[in-house]
Structure 1
């Protein structure tokens, strides 16, 4: 019996470059008000590098992240998921930009600039990333600093496990490391025509049933592993769907949003967070969710809104990468619907409620269930998936996104300058007026608060409520009293 014909090189390229159902959904959700890029504000010690030096550094490393040389090509008539194609007009200076703060160059000005930059959508006809070099930042004592604002579309990079351009730009030592050789000069592959894109997509759709048969063959070879996975997925699906079909409670955070953004941040020392986790008997993520919940409760109270019996719902992205599947590209992220009991004003009570709820969600396999749904999206009609993605954001499935990403616990350097802060930004989906992104770096934690310009005119007040919530939890747990030299405090 003749063997199956191996795929042609062109077929394997197309398969590799086809967006997953989840990645494509980020493009479907995007509209004039909701821009689906993740971002970060990075602060560095010392004088800024010359702009041309930064451009050269990016150019020398772009081959390490080849997806950053590609743009999205949409299939005509919506008959297939988009795919990545080489951009024949790639211009690095379009993507690496340069600006400066006016005097005095303080953090308030940097936050305002970040809000404006993060509010600008990425051009879907070009590679979906930007880097902004920001000069003129002072450290408060007259010293010099600079910042880098990065933007990358969610369809391009996995926020938890992916390798992005900023990753390859950093060194782990002050002396800049020479990047690996680029090899032969890069030449963009020809842009496929609309007819070619349509033909490829139709062939792939016809091949869908064959993939299902191959998957069934794998089930026969590994029945115990597959049945165990099916059982976990079934339980998780039940948990995830049951929490999703009930709409989240109404709140002032869930309104029609506009295109403009505000951005704020709060810092915290990681050792204090770990001390709280050890004292209270939960996880670092439990601590993060507790202070966010307490802050939201305070914020609603200050707005004159009753929180009695109110439990908001947060979407918590979690990594669901398969350890046995190296080389898988695209976002491998699902999520859990976590209750935020904003009615609980007593900090340790709030912590206990959240810790217990998170244990239940993990035992119920919500993340596994959500992963199963995202995998099913890969077999659905692209038109159906587009409509489903938009409808999902209009049904108020959750009140806000809270994402917590562990970062490197060692100093990183950009062209010999040490990075001292890494503040993440999470995008706002339609109907989501506020979002919280959390990231640890080199012994510190940064909360990045994204707010719709109109819905969250008091975003700085929410940042103040978060600082107060941190202090309240530290005091209630008695962690600060155990430090001889006093406790570290959350700072602006």
Structure 2
């Protein structure tokens, strides 16, 4: 995912209710590093093209190289904060150290401050990032708890490195064989053909007849084929980013969810559909076909073992073609029910694709796509990513004074996907981050306002 105009890290904005000194932040992180070993590990890159990198302890680890602070002057508003987050998110992580950073933003109005975390997706996904945040800032660990001494482990020896290469080759062959059996060949033309076929066949079963009752109705068969509709944000991206946030109190939609049997995620998807419908219509870009969202789904058990990344992906039609809030909610509920039963990309396939491409080939493909502006000519089978990470089990704070008020995600953007809408539950609310390529969607605040209006329309349904 890292390339000339894209970066593979996940950022998160955590708002604090008080000012925090850099020394306080350093002390808290230093005291809890032992709880998250990934924070002191860096990647060792493979020597073979199909090889996989592996994690080793960083024997030159220095916490100061991962923490930074910026002061916005004392009366900075949300716009200034969002601009700072967008600038920070656009900067790639150095590869010679563990793949994470944390920035303290001071000088906000009301003597408040904020934290911006930056974690590479190869180390954590949304759920893993949430759990990591709880380890570093959870309130269930009393201040002054003993911190064990840390000694970096030795790197792999010659025999272990050789065994690792043998495993890489055998894993590559096995993954390629499985992908071939699933008709996912490794050539770009085949990948494009299959992803388009996947999107088309998935969408064929997900068109809806809307009935104006209180409970979602089944989805009848559809006849739409082809890739996802083209939009202004499905094009080659630049390196510039923009960001906006909004919080939805979960209590506001509780009655709606209880009466209709929908979930908070269904409400989020329907709100996104309503906002995007208005945004596209204002630009004369609204398609008669539904947009297609790429939706991560958390997994558990054996499938999630072995790392912080614990998700699979599915394509879900977004009812931007439906004219009523009630209809969009019914459509979203039924579409996600289907998507959860039959994920478009199972977790084993994600693992196989990662094994076949490898970091070297993936980097070359990303750079080539950006330099050739392929996203302007080859359209992906989805329009945007929408995700929803469940709330952590505890409140978060920096020290005893500065409580975390909200946690807004800023996931990575890739060529062809100039917009993401991601949410994370926290303290009875759903904190939403609208992240965009500033060239394609220069004002995500407009979309944020439309999102709030669409959400209000839903919760006012009888």
Q: Identify the residue that residue 208 of structure 2 maps to in structure 1.
A: none
Q: How does 1:135-214 map to 2 (within 5 A)?
A: 135-138=106-109, 143-161=110-128, 165-172=132-139, 176-183=142-149, 185-187=150-152, 189-190=154-155, 199-205=162-168, 208=171
Cα distance change, pair 163–471 in 1 and its aligned pair in 2 (3 A)? closer
Q: How does 1:413-452 map to 2 (within 5 A)?
A: 413-416=397-400, 417-452=402-437
What's the secondary structure of 2:381's corresponding residue?
Answer: coil
Distance in 2 of aligned mates of 1:209 and 1:258? 33
Distance in 1 of aligned mates of 2:35 and 2:2? 28
Q: Is the 8 A contact 1:135 1:145 kept in 2?
A: yes
Answer with 1 or 2: which has the greater Rg: 1
What's the secondary structure of 1:133's corresponding residue?
Answer: strand
Q: Is the 8 A contact 2:138 2:394 kept in 1?
A: no
Distance in 2 of aligned mates of 1:261 and 1:379? 30
Distance in 2 of aligned mates of 1:207 and 1:106? 54
- The two structures, once aligned, show a CA RMSD in angstroms of 3.0
- Say whether 1:269 aligns with 2:249: yes
Q: TM-score, normalised by structure 1?
A: 0.76
- Say whether 1:38 aligns with 2:17: no
Equivalent residue for 1:301, pick from 269, 276, 281:
281
- Say whether 1:372 aligns with 2:348: yes
Q: What's the offset of the Cα at 1:388?
A: 11
Distance in 1 of aligned mates of 2:286 and 2:10? 32
Q: Is the 8 A contact 2:134 2:396 kept in 1?
A: no
Aligned residues: 411
Cα distance change, pair 410–86 in 1 and its aligned pair in 2 (3 A)? closer
Q: Is the 8 A contact 1:88 1:191 kept in 2?
A: no
Q: How does 1:192-341 map to 2 (within 5 A)?
A: 199-205=162-168, 208=171, 242-243=201-202, 246-307=226-287, 309-321=288-300, 323-324=301-302, 328-341=306-319
Q: Identify the residue that residue 25 of structure 2 maps to in structure 1.
A: 54
Q: What's the offset of the Cα at 1:326?
A: 7.7
Q: What's the offset of the Cα at 1:470?
A: 1.3
Q: After the TM superposition, which of the residue ranges 157-166 and 435-444 deviates more from structure 2?
A: 157-166
> Which residues of structure 1 form unaligned runs of 5+?
1-28, 213-237, 479-492
Q: What's the offset of the Cα at 1:246?
A: 4.5
Q: How does 1:93-108 map to 2 (within 5 A)?
A: 93-108=64-79
What's the secondary structure of 1:290's corresponding residue?
Answer: helix
Distance in 1 of aligned mates of 2:424 and 2:88? 20
Q: Is the 8 A contact 1:248 1:396 kept in 2?
A: yes
Equivalent residue for 1:345, pick from 319, 323, 331:
323
Distance in 2 of aligned mates of 1:470 and 1:105? 27
Distance in 2 of aligned mates of 1:41 and 1:436? 14
Distance in 1 of aligned mates of 2:81 and 2:94? 23
What's the secondary structure of 2:227's corresponding residue?
Answer: coil
Cα-to-partner distance string for 1:170-210 (whole Å, 9 max, x where unaligned)? 2336x943345314x42353487xx8897344221355499
Q: TM-score, normalised by structure 2?
A: 0.81
Q: Is the 8 A contact 2:12 2:410 kept in 1?
A: yes
Q: Identify the residue that residue 406 of structure 1 maps to in structure 2.
A: 390
